[in-house]
Structure 1
């Protein structure tokens, strides 16, 4: 299968390396030129539970170099979804499928507006990754499941074929007949820890030592569950504690959420697609979401302070 990964950050590279080693023609597309140059020159260095190795990957900054793919996996930051997909239409042919594995909710609608809803698939992955430097990642694929499905819940041959290809390559993948429920399940995990660690700067080990922060997390997750249930979404979780436990499962104490990693790098976050999604769905279905509203406001404040610092530093230099 010819696969293009749109957004070859830590997660994209972790998945891309696995699919490459599994025998698929896998292309890693990213706008970070130093990262792409390092992978083209030296291969991708992958550190994981089995040690460290270099994987010879195909990497580029240009969709035109790739051409039409069988499958485009979208893993750019949420706020870049529209521009990234519109800028990579060379990847899309008559039979190309587009699969979002991004955090949060709403990407499938953005992609459908660009390429047509009939070719969009959705999914969630619990694979982890950290970008250690250009061409170098820490990967967490083993034991981490990926869930994919049709937007309408049908069990089709095309989604089963993708799952088979992923599983054969070593990327544990399950087909869901309730992909919206699956996406909400992952959203609950992100809601449990992302914004709180972004505001406090805490690693997982530090976060899970603070009972007052756990109480805030459970309250935020409870609001999200109420919003989902009001919308008729079928969740696999029945208690906010399940999301709190699942969020840290198999991760080291030093692990940092993607939201915290973004802020530490000076980048804006995906808060609008995570806790912000809970607020929007709550407004739509009459469910109060004061905790998530507060967390969104706090992250927006952190982003504003960060932008002001960057502006001052730019003026000085």
Structure 2
């Protein structure tokens, strides 16, 4: 299978690297010139469980001039989704499937608006990754599941083929007839840890050592579950604490959430698509979400502190 990963940072490189390792032709696309150069000349280095694998991949900074692929995995930051998919038209041919594995909610609607509903399938992944240096990824793939599915709920041949490709690469994959529920189950995990880790600047080992943080996380997840119930979303998560526990399963002491990694780079976060989505949908469904509202406000404040407005500029 010809596969491209659009937004191949830490997570995209971990997933794309494992797929390349299993024999697929994989192109990793990332704007970071140092990351692309290192992968091109030395290979992609995946560190996991005390082992380093060097994987040969195709790497490029932009999709310009590329040829169409069978599968385009979208892993850009949520706020770049429309810009990225519009720039990737060279990768999209008559048989291309577009799969979003991004955090949060709402990206599928953006993709459908650009490439059409017939091309887009949805997915969520619990795989983790941290870029420790350009071209070097500390990967968390073992035992971490990825769930994909048609938004219609149909178990189509293309979903089954992608599931098999992931499984063969050691990326446990499940084809789901309830992908919307799976998307919300993953959202709950991001709600539990993303904003709290970013606000406190704590890695997982320290984050999980503070009872007050656990209590706040579980309260935020409980609100999200109430919103999901109001939307008639069928969850597999039955208790808020499950999302908090699942978030750290199999990840090391030093692991950092993607939201924290964004702030450490001085970049905006995906808060509007995570806790912000819970708050927005809560307002629409008349479900109070005070904990999530507070987390959104705190992250917005941290983002402003990292990138203050110019004096005299209006809101």
* TM-score, structure 2 as length reference: 0.96
Q: CA separation in 2, counterparts of 1:217 and 1:142?
A: 25
| Partner in structure 2 of residue 119 of structure 1 | 119
| Partner in structure 1 of residue 8 of structure 2 | 8
- Alignment root-mean-square deviation, CA: 1.3
| Partner in structure 2 of residue 252 of structure 1 | 252
Q: Check if 1:64 corresponds to 2:64.
A: yes
Alignment of 1:1-317 (within 5 A): 1-308=1-308
Task: State the Cα distance separating 1:191 from its structure 2 match.
Answer: 0.4
Task: State the Cα distance separating 1:46 from its structure 2 match.
Answer: 1.4
- Contact in 2 for aligned 1:125/1:147 (Cα 8 Å): yes
Q: Which moved more, 1:163-172 or 1:232-241?
A: 163-172
Q: CA separation in 2, counterparts of 1:124 and 1:205?
A: 24
| Partner in structure 2 of residue 315 of structure 1 | none
- The number of residue pairs the alignment matches comes to 311
Q: Deviations over 1:122-142 (max 9, x none)?
A: 001111100111111111111
Q: CA separation in 1, counterparts of 2:256 and 2:35?
A: 21
- Contact in 2 for aligned 1:185/1:237 (Cα 8 Å): yes
Task: State the Cα distance separating 1:172 from its structure 2 match.
Answer: 1.2
Return 5+ residue gaps in structure 2 as ranges: none
Task: State the Cα distance separating 1:66 from its structure 2 match.
Answer: 2.8
The SS at the match of 1:66 is coil
- Contact in 1 for aligned 2:72/2:96 (Cα 8 Å): yes
Return 5+ residue gaps in structure 1 as ranges: 313-317
Q: CA separation in 1, counterparts of 2:217 and 2:54?
A: 38
* TM-score, structure 1 as length reference: 0.95
The SS at the match of 1:166 is helix
Q: CA separation in 2, counterparts of 1:224 and 1:130?
A: 27
Q: CA separation in 2, counterparts of 1:278 and 1:8?
A: 27
Q: CA separation in 1, counterparts of 2:103 and 2:305?
A: 24
- Contact in 1 for aligned 2:64/2:87 (Cα 8 Å): no
